[in-house]
């Protein structure tokens, strides 16, 4: 009996608390939620430094892995319990929804203070993805809504030793050269290419690079608007790249169920000669195999019609909570965190490309090579519109089924177009 | 002089049974063995060394994992969560199951059906409503860490309740009622019967519930991430799995360290099982019930 | 005198019922707070078009559900009220143009979960029962086996996924298969069986079902063993005296005595297998293509990947309804079996 009573009392107590509970209102403590495990330690270290300088405590809270972090942020937004500073890991339309929901502060005025001092310290491409231009398709007020901690891009890497073994003298520049190199590798029993294509975004990224190369951005955007069909010969050409790579036995076995972590392990252990991966891999490969001798290259282009564009831009970006009473302090901290000295510390500790252009000091050679391609990067966050996510899923899953040989490129093109049509009809219905 | 055919048949049967048992044992032990083996190697050796038992054992990985992952505090938290939640579930679910099985009150069938239906709704669908609810009650953002912990504990109790009630009710339904009658004649009230007759009798079922829920809480990380927030300057209130996940994400390239941390996380629950399993399979030993039957134990 | 007695009794009864009610009060309170609200909210959201973040939650009625499964007349105008569409349907039914509109991927995912459940029900539970029978007799090392068989359930899904991925991996380096299974197959000369186990659409789902069963059989083992030990040994002795063979003893004594335990294990297996998803996320993430998607991964994908929150909730409600129907059917079956 007494136990039951105690239980009830505890419950009542907890319910009573609901009246007086709120956020811990310490004006000198900033809370940051993030997902960047590789950067957590150095961020905490920098926060200590900041406290010594300003007396403001910055509490970095890590929620990993990133998909769980996303769930947390979305749920927290609904409950209005977002911290002072956080990051949004989703595509641009979701970012826009956060802004429209009033959760994210517009940092534009701060970027433009003192003759755009803060803005000019960044790589242009680093800010691009966080910028909403005037009259954007998302219906968000013009502005810059996040500060990037670092930049990244996604390219191909090649194992120098394995290529040499196969008699390939220089990394392939065109897709035909790539196919020849792969053939030579296959001949001596080396898997030519690996990537984490269980992760749909990485598969999408590779396809997108070639879509740019084959048809250019205008036609891609026209497809997204529904004016060009996925059954267009140019799109079929994009799909065919995957069937060719599968048929010629270029792809590592099990590539469609390989997460990028496993793919990185394969490349680091010299199980494959080429990999498609982002600039963060420099740190990962270094951890797995410090002696790995590899170079960085752009994906070999397949057409001369349009330039091949790779994905890149801000790596991790942080936003300031619009409703936080410590908004000004949060902005001040982000300014400090992205200043040259702190950026140098971050970059050195984590082997990521710094977002501050002045902090490009002593980067490892491979990372510097990645950095050089920052001029040809693009990203869905800078395109005027984005593709419907349901169509994207069908598109990338379709690529997987081409790779495992259960669908032809033409079939997938048809199926994707069907979904596209359905989603367009739905969008119209929604707008009514 | 050979063995007689009966003995041969018996022997082949025994050999076949042992063969099956040993095969399954190997598949069960292999992952654990692999985990421990990798955790005792150096980073250079782990991808290269093909030998079954590495020539040199490096126990330093465990020390490094424990200190670098700051597992001490996480460990303590998980022990606290697991103990309280399991205790809560055992008490609350056995009350409820006993009532559903033995006592009469209006709406008893309806309540039970509702309870069981709750198991059917997949958890991920309710993430957002749950967070909103917990915030409204004041669990998530309370400045007091014990309130935030309480929210998580109640939530975990809630997750474990329906299945535990179901299991226990099934068990109580088969329990002979003459013992209760005897106890009632002895002057026991309902609470007394629950405490002195139903609970001891249900020991195997309760042991199953203990393991089932201990495992659930110990390996849980989704709700913890959703519902728990740390506050600057105070020790973390996150459970061990969170520590392991973060550690695994940070050191995903350092296999030995990763495996050491996973082993650390797995060992306590294996110990709990070893401790509890004998209660599940304790039939045959003289239990309190037998003593009660013989009248050697008053109530 | 009788009158007073009656009065006394009714008061006693009220008190009795009230105190009985106290037993379920804690459970009912927790249940009411943590289940009822989220459930109604989920149902509410399933009637809306919502991306999970924005303030706009457009009410769309049962449209999310009709996207999952509905009868669709070809070229049905979108703006019909419900009674107009009923008339329209009847007309098209007569004309033979009524067709089924459904989310193919979703229903395939339901089939995948059912497949995993079927494998778990047969393979996993048969294995568990056999092992429990073996450990129930006087056999060398039974205490050791008891401890060992519970290791797979204890390990977290993440660990299990990691290890089995490594076992089932395809790929060759320096002429050696580096996946353990392929390595073994190669070593014993079964080269033609070497496969990309998780990426081959023919084997991926079965691999997952087998790993799931491997992870789960310890539970069944434990409960079967506990059940077997409650069977009175004298019954077996009596059967022996009667001259019953092992097979007959099994069907006439073991199975009937074990029926309640078997039913509980079957229900637990179904619930656990239909909703399994962590293992799948860590092994294949639903791929290749849609070959290992299950309802819960589809719900998560709709919530996190494609941001169709309302649709995700509708899938959750539908799946819950399927499970409820399944358990109701089971209950019916249970009663029938018991009568036999």
Q: What's C64-114 look like in SS3? A: HHHHHEEEEECCCCCCCCHHHHHHHHHHHHHHCCEEEEECHHHHHHHHHHH
Which residues of C touch chain A, with CB atoms under 8 Å apart?
Answer: 22, 25-26, 29, 49, 51-55, 58, 78, 165, 169-175, 178, 196, 198-201, 204, 283-285, 287-290, 301, 303-308
What is the CATH code for A152-312+388-431?
A: 3.40.190.10
Closest chain B residue to C41, measured at CA: B129
Could you tell me if B233 lies within 8 Å of chain A, comparing CB atoms?
yes
Q: How confident is the prediction along chain B (299 residues), in pLDDT tens digits per residue?
A: 456 778 888 888 888 888 889 999 998 888 888 888 888 888 777 666 666 677 777 788 888 888 887 888 888 899 999 999 999 999 999 999 988 888 877 777 888 888 777 777 666 667 778 888 888 888 877 778 888 889 999 999 988 888 899 888 888 887 777 777 777 777 778 888 888 888 888 888 888 899 889 988 998 888 888 888 777 667 788 888 888 888 877 776 677 888 888 888 888 888 888 888 877 775 444 444 444 444 433 33
Interchain proximity B126–C299, CB inside 8 Å:
no
Closest approach of B17 to chain C, Cα-based (Å): 7
Could you tell me if C281 lies within 8 Å of chain B, comparing CB atoms?
no
Record the tokens describing residue C163, joined without a space.
């290890």
Q: Is C294 exposed, middle or buried (0-12, 13-18, 19+ CB in 10 A)?
A: buried
Residue C120 covered by a domain: yes
Q: How confident is the prediction along chain A (432 residues), in pLDDT tens digits per residue?
A: 445 555 555 444 444 333 333 345 678 889 999 988 888 889 999 999 999 999 999 999 888 778 788 888 888 888 888 999 999 888 888 888 899 888 999 999 999 988 888 988 888 888 888 899 888 888 899 999 999 988 889 999 999 999 999 999 899 999 999 999 999 999 998 999 999 999 999 999 999 999 999 999 999 999 999 999 999 999 999 999 999 999 999 999 889 999 888 899 889 989 999 999 999 899 888 888 888 999 999 999 999 989 999 998 888 899 999 999 999 999 999 999 998 889 888 888 888 888 887 776 677 888 888 888 887 888 888 888 889 989 999 999 999 999 999 999 999 999 999 999 988 988 887 776
Task: Please tell me whether residues C177 and C140 are part of one structural domain.
Answer: yes
Phi, psi of A58 (to 5 degrees): -115, 120
> Who among B98, B117, B170 is closest to C260 (CB)?
B170
Kindly state the DSSP code that residue A305 receives in the 8-state scheme. S
Could you tell me if A94 lies within 8 Å of chain C, comparing CB atoms?
yes
Could you tell me if C50 lies within 8 Å of chain B, comparing CB atoms?
no
| Neighbors of chain B with 3 or more C-beta pairs under 8 Å | A, C
- Domain of residue C333: give its range: 104-339
CATH 3.40.190.10 domain position(s) in chain A:
26-149+315-371, 152-312+388-431
Q: Rounded distance, CA A37 to CA C179, Å?
A: 29
Phi-psi category of A57—alpha, beta or left, where left has phi over 0 and alpha has psi -120 to 50? beta
What total of structural domains would you count in chain C?
Answer: 3
The CATH number of the domain holding residue C254 is: 1.10.3720.10
Q: Rounded distance, CA A408 to CA B128, Å?
A: 40
Closest approach of C125 to chain A, Cα-based (Å): 29
The residue-averaged pLDDT of C252-270 equals 87
Residues of B in contact with C264 (CB under 8 A): 167, 170
Please list the residues that pair with C102 across neighbouring strands: C69
Question: Residue B294's pLDDT is what?
Answer: 45
Could you tell me if B167 lies within 8 Å of chain C, comparing CB atoms?
yes
Question: Residue B213's pLDDT is what?
Answer: 92
Interchain proximity A429–C78, CB inside 8 Å:
yes
Interchain proximity A404–C170, CB inside 8 Å:
no
Could you tell me if C181 lies within 8 Å of chain B, comparing CB atoms?
no
Phi, psi of A297 (to 5 degrees): -145, 155
Closest approach of C238 to chain A, Cα-based (Å): 47
Task: List the 2-61 stretch of A: residues with Cβ below 8 A of C.
Answer: 4, 7-8, 11
Report cis status (omega within 30 of 0) of the bond before A65: yes
Kindly state the DSSP code that residue A122 receives in the 8-state scheme. B
Residue C56 covered by a domain: no
Interchain proximity A75–B127, CB inside 8 Å:
yes
Q: Which ipTM score applies to this complex?
A: 0.82
Interchain proximity A189–C175, CB inside 8 Å:
yes
Task: Please tell me whether residues C114 and C219 are part of one structural domain.
Answer: yes
What DSSP string describes chain B?
Answer: ----HHHHHHHHHHHHHHHHHHHHHHHHHHHHHHHHHHHTS-HHHHTT---SS-SS--THHHHHHHHHTTHHHHHHHHHHHHHHHHHHHHHHHHHHHHHHHH---TTHHHHHHHHHHHTTS-GGGGHHHHHHHHHHHTSTT-SSHHHHHHHHHHHHHHHHHHHHHHHHHHHHHTS-SHHHHHHHHTT--HHHHIIIIIHHHTHHHHHHHHHHHHHHHHT--HHHHHH----TTS-----HHHHHHHHHHHTTT-HHHHHHHHHHHHHHHHHHHHHHHHHHT-BTB--HHHHHHTT-S--
> Who among B131, B137, B254 is closest to A76 (CB)?
B131
- CATH class of residue range A26-149+315-371: alpha beta
Task: Please tell me whether residues C127 and C225 are part of one structural domain.
Answer: yes
- The pTM score is 0.86
Give yes or no for a contact between A98 and A322, defined as CB atoms under 8 angstroms apart.
Answer: no
Residue C58 covered by a domain: no
More confident residue, C45 or B4: C45
Record the tokens describing residue B60, joined without a space.
């330093």
Taking alpha carbons only, the member of B200, B152, B151, B159 closest to residue B179 is: B200
Record the tokens describing residue A30, joined without a space.
């900033």
Record the tokens describing residue B137, joined without a space.
């009650």
Placement of tokens 């020539």 in the chain: B55
Question: Residue C5's pLDDT is what?
Answer: 52
Task: Please tell me whether residues C250 and C275 are part of one structural domain.
Answer: yes
Task: List the 218-257 stretch of C: residues with Cβ below 8 A of B.
Answer: 218-219, 222-223, 225-226, 229-230
Taking alpha carbons only, the member of C312, C317, C318 closest to residue C50 is: C312
Closest approach of A293 to chain B, Cα-based (Å): 17
Task: List the 284-313 stretch of A: residues with Cβ below 8 A of B.
Answer: 284, 287-288
> Who among A3, A38, A74 is closest to B250 (CB)?
A38
Question: Residue B122's pLDDT is what?
Answer: 64
Q: Rounded distance, CA C44 to CA C37, Å?
A: 10
Question: If pLDDT is split at 50, 70 and 90, which confidence band does C1 have?
Answer: very low
Question: Residue B40's pLDDT is what?
Answer: 87
Provide the number of CB pairs (under 8 Å) joining chain A to chain B: 104
Give yes or no for a contact between C298 and C106, defined as CB atoms under 8 angstroms apart.
Answer: yes
Question: Residue C7's pLDDT is what?
Answer: 52
Could you tell me if B141 lies within 8 Å of chain A, comparing CB atoms?
yes
Task: Please tell me whether residues C94 and C112 are part of one structural domain.
Answer: no
* pLDDT single digits (tens) C282-333: 888 887 889 999 998 998 888 888 888 888 888 988 898 888 888 888 888 8
Task: Please tell me whether residues C220 and C135 are part of one structural domain.
Answer: yes
Question: If pLDDT is split at 50, 70 and 90, which confidence band does C338 have?
Answer: confident
Tell me which H or E stretch contains A152.
Answer: strand A150-159
Task: Please tell me whether residues C117 and C21 are part of one structural domain.
Answer: no
Interchain proximity B141–A284, CB inside 8 Å:
no
Question: If pLDDT is split at 50, 70 and 90, which confidence band does C108 have?
Answer: very high
Indicate if the pLDDT at residue C74 is higher than 70: no
Phi, psi of B53 (to 5 degrees): -115, 120
Closest approach of B39 to chain C, Cα-based (Å): 13
Interchain proximity A430–C165, CB inside 8 Å:
no
Taking alpha carbons only, the member of A361, A260, A317 closest to residue A39 is: A317
Question: If pLDDT is split at 50, 70 and 90, which confidence band does C75 have?
Answer: low
């Amino acid at each position: 009996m007494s136990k039951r009573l105690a239980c009830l009392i505890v419950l009542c107590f907890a319910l009573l608390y609901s009246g007086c509970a709120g956020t811990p209102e310490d004006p000198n403590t900033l809370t940051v939620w993030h997902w960047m495990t590789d950067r957590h330690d150095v961020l905490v270290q920098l926060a200590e430094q900041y406290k010594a300088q300003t007396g403001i405590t910055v509490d970095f809270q890590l929620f990993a892995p990133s998909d769980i972090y996303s769930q947390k942020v979305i749920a927290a937004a609904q409950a209005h319990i977002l911290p002072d500073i956080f990051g949004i890991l989703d595509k641009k339309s979701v970012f826009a929804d956060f802004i429209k929901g009033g959760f994210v502060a517009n940092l534009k005025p701060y970027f433009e203070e003192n003759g755009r001092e803060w803005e000019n310290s960044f790589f242009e491409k680093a800010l691009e993805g966080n910028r909403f231009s005037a009259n954007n398709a998302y219906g968000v007020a013009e502005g810059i809504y996040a500060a990037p901690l670092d930049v990244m891009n996604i390219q191909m890497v090649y194992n120098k030793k394995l290529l040499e073994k196969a008699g390939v003298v220089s990394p392939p520049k065109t897709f035909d050269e790539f196919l020849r190199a792969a053939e030579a590798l296959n001949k001596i029993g080396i898997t030519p290419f690996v990537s984490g294509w269980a992760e749909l975004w990485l598969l999408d990224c590779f396809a997108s690079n070639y879509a740019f190369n084959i048809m250019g951005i205008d036609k891609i955007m026209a497809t997204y608007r529904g004016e060009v069909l996925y059954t267009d010969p140019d799109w079929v050409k994009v799909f065919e790249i995957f069937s060719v790579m599968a048929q010629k036995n270029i792809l590592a076995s099990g590539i469609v169920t390989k997460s990028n972590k496993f793919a990185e392990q394969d490349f680091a252990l010299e199980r494959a000669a080429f990999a498609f991966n982002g600039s963060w891999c420099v740190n990962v490969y270094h951890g797995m195999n410090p002696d790995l001798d590899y170079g960085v290259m752009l994906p070999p282009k397949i057409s001369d019609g349009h330039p091949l564009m790779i994905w890149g831009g801000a790596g991790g970006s942080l936003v300031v909570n619009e409703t936080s009473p410590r908004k000004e302090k949060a902005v001040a901290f982000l300014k400090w965190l992205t200043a040259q000295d702190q950026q140098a510390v971050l970059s050195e500790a984590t082997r990521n490309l710094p977002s501050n252009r002045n902090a490009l000091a002593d980067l490892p050679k491979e990372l510097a090579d990645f950095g050089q391609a920052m001029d040809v990067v693009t990203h869905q966050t800078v395109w005027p519109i984005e593709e419907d996510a349901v169509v994207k899923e069908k598109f990338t899953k379709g690529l997987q089924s081409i790779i495992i040989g259960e669908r032809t490129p033409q079939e997938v093109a048809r199926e994707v177009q069907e979904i596209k049509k359905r989603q367009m009809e739905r969008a119209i219905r929604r707008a009514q | 002089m050979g063995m007689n055919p009966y003995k041969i048949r018996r022997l082949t049967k025994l050999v076949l049974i042992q063969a099956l048992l040993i095969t399954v044992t190997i598949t069960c032990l292999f992952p654990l063995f692999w985990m421990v083996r990798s955790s005792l190697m150096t980073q250079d050796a782990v991808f290269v060394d093909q030998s079954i038992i590495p020539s040199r054992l490096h126990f330093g990985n465990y020390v490094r994992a424990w200190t670098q992952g700051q597992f001490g505090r996480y460990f303590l938290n998980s022990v606290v969560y697991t103990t309280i939640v399991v205790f809560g579930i055992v008490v609350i679910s056995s009350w409820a199951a006993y009532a559903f099985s033995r006592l009469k009150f209006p709406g008893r069938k309806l309540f039970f059906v509702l309870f069981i239906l709750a198991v059917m709704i997949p958890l991920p669908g309710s993430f957002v409503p749950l967070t909103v609810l917990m915030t409204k009650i004041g669990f998530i953002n309370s400045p007091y860490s014990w309130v935030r912990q309480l929210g998580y504990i109640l939530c975990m109790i809630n997750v474990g309740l329906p299945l535990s009630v179901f299991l226990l009710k099934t068990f109580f339904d088969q329990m002979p009622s003459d013992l209760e009658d005897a106890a009632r004649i002895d002057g026991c009230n309902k609470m007394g019967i629950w405490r002195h007759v139903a609970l001891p009798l249900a020991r195997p079922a309760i042991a199953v519930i203990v393991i089932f829920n201990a495992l659930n809480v110990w390996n849980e990380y989704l709700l913890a991430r959703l519902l728990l927030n740390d506050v600057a300057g105070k020790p973390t209130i996150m459970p061990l799995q969170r520590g392991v996940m973060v550690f695994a994400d940070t050191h995903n390239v350092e296999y030995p360290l990763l495996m050491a941390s996973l082993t650390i996380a797995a060992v306590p629950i294996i110990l709990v099982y070893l401790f509890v399993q004998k209660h599940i399979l304790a039939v045959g030993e003289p239990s309190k019930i037998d003593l009660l039957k013989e009248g050697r134990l008053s109530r | 005198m009788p009158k007073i007695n009656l009065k006394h009794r009714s008061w006693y009864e009220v008190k009795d019922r009230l105190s009985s009610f106290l037993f379920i009060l804690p459970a009912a309170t927790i249940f009411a707070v943590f289940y009822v609200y989220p459930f109604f909210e989920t149902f509410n959201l399933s009637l809306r078009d919502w991306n999970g973040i924005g303030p706009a939650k457009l009410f769309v009625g049962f449209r999310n559900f009709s996207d999952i499964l509905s009868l669709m007349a070809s070229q049905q105008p979108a703006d019909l009220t419900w009674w107009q569409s009923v008339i329209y349907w009847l007309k098209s039914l007569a004309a033979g143009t009524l067709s089924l509109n459904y989310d193919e991927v979703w229903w395939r995912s339901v089939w995948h979960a059912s497949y995993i459940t079927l494998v778990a029900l047969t393979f996993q539970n048969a294995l568990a029962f056999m092992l429990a029978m073996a450990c129930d007799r006087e056999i060398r090392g039974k205490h050791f086996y008891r401890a060992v068989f519970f290791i797979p359930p204890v390990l977290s899904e993440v660990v299990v996924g990691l290890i089995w991925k490594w076992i089932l991996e395809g790929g060759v380096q320096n002429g050696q298969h580096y996946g353990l299974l392929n390595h073994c197959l190669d070593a014993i000369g079964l080269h033609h069986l070497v496969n990309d186990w998780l990426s081959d659409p023919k084997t991926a789902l079965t691999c997952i079902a087998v790993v799931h069963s491997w992870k789960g059989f310890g539970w069944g083992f434990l409960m079967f063993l506990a059940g077997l030990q409650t069977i009175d040994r004298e019954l077996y002795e009596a059967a022996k005296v009667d001259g019953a063979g092992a097979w007959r003893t099994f069907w006439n004594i073991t199975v009937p005595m074990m029926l309640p335990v078997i039913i509980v294990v079957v229900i637990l297996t179904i619930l656990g297998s239909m909703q399994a998803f962590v293992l799948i996320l860590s092994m294949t993430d639903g791929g290749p293509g849609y070959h290992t998607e299950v309802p819960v991964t589809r719900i998560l994908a709709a919530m996190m990947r494609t941001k169709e929150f309302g649709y995700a909730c509708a899938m959750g409600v539908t799946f819950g309804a399927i499970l409820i129907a399944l358990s109701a059917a089971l209950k019916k079956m249970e009663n029938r079996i018991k009568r036999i």
